[in-house]
Amino acid sequence: MTRTLWDSTVGKKVIMAVSGLVMLLYLVVHMIGNLKIFFGAGEFNHYAHWLRTMGEPFLHHEWALWLVRIGLVAAVVLHGVSAYHLSRRDIRARPSGYVHRKPRAAYATRTMRWGGIILALFIVWHILDLTTGTVHPGGFQSGRPYQNVIDTFSTWYGNTVYIVAVLALGLHVQHGFWSAAQTLGVGNATRDRILKTTANALALVLTAGFVAVPVAVMTGVVS
C-alpha cells in the first residue's frame, strides 16, 4: 500500500493532503498560542515554558515537544518531496505552452508552487530566528520568547518577511485545504460550498491571527 501511494500521482497527492492537514492543525494551535502574547509577557512565557514540560512526568522534559517536532519535520519533508516530484512531472507533461496565453485558474491555485517555496524558506528563517536564535536581531534569550518576538518585529525586514510569508500561507491554505478535501475524496457537488467556505474561513483566520502579532508590535499594542 505504501508503494502504491508513493508510485502514483493520486497517492502522492494523498500524502500531500494528509501532511498538509497535519501542518494545518499544527498552525491552528500555533496561532492560538501566539495570540497569548496579548495577555502579557508572563502568560506568554509561561505558555512557552509549558510546551517543554508537556507530558511530564510520564514523558521526560521536552520529549513531547520533540515528538511534535519530529512529526512536523516528517510532514514538511513528505509534503515538500511529493510536491517536488509532482511538479517535475507536471512540467514534463506540458513541455510546450500555448502561443496564445491566457491567465489561467484562480490566483491561489496558480501560486501553490511558489507559495510553497516561500513558506519552506520562511520556516528555515523562522526557526533560526526564534527557536535557535542564530539569525535573531539583538540578543536572543532562551526562555524569554516574549522579548524575542518583540525584537524580531521591531525590525523592518522581520515584519516584511513574516507578513509576506503569512499572506502566502493564507493563499496556500485557501486552495490547499479545498484541494486536500478533493484528493481525499471528501468533495462532491453538494459539499463543495461548505468546503470552499471552510477553506476561505481557515485562510482568513490564520492570516489574521498570525499577522495580528507583528501589527500589534509595530503599533505598540504589544511592547
Kindly state the smallest distance separating residue 201's Cβ from other proteins, in Å: 18
Question: Which of 43, 50, 61, 90 is the binder for other proteins (CB under 8 A)?
Answer: 90
Determine contact, residues 172/154, Cβ cutoff 8 Å.
no
Closest CA to 17 of 136, 151, 182: 182
- Within residues 110-149, the interface with other proteins by CB under 8 A covers 110, 112
Question: Which of 186, 194, 201, 204 is the binder for other proteins (CB under 8 A)?
Answer: 186
For position 21 contacting other proteins by CB under 8 A, the verdict is: no
Neighbours of 112 (CB within 10 A): 17
Q: In which element (H, E) is residue 19 found?
A: helix 9-35
Neighbours of 160 (CB within 10 A): 11
For position 216 contacting other proteins by CB under 8 A, the verdict is: no
Cβ distance to other proteins smaller for residue 93 or 220 = 93
For position 185 contacting other proteins by CB under 8 A, the verdict is: yes
Question: Which of 46, 60, 69, 89 is the binder for other proteins (CB under 8 A)?
Answer: 89
Counting runs of H as helices and runs of E as strands, what totals does the chain give? 9, 0
Cα 141-35-133 angle, rounded to 5 deg: 20
For position 172 contacting other proteins by CB under 8 A, the verdict is: no
Question: Which of 156, 189, 193, 219 is the binder for other proteins (CB under 8 A)?
Answer: 189
For position 107 contacting other proteins by CB under 8 A, the verdict is: no
Report the C-alpha gap between 105 and 103 in whole angstroms. 7
Q: Residue 138 corresponds to which amino acid?
A: G
Rule CB under 8 A: which residues touch other proteins? Answer: 1, 3-5, 7-14, 86, 89-102, 104-106, 109-110, 112, 175, 178-179, 181-189, 192
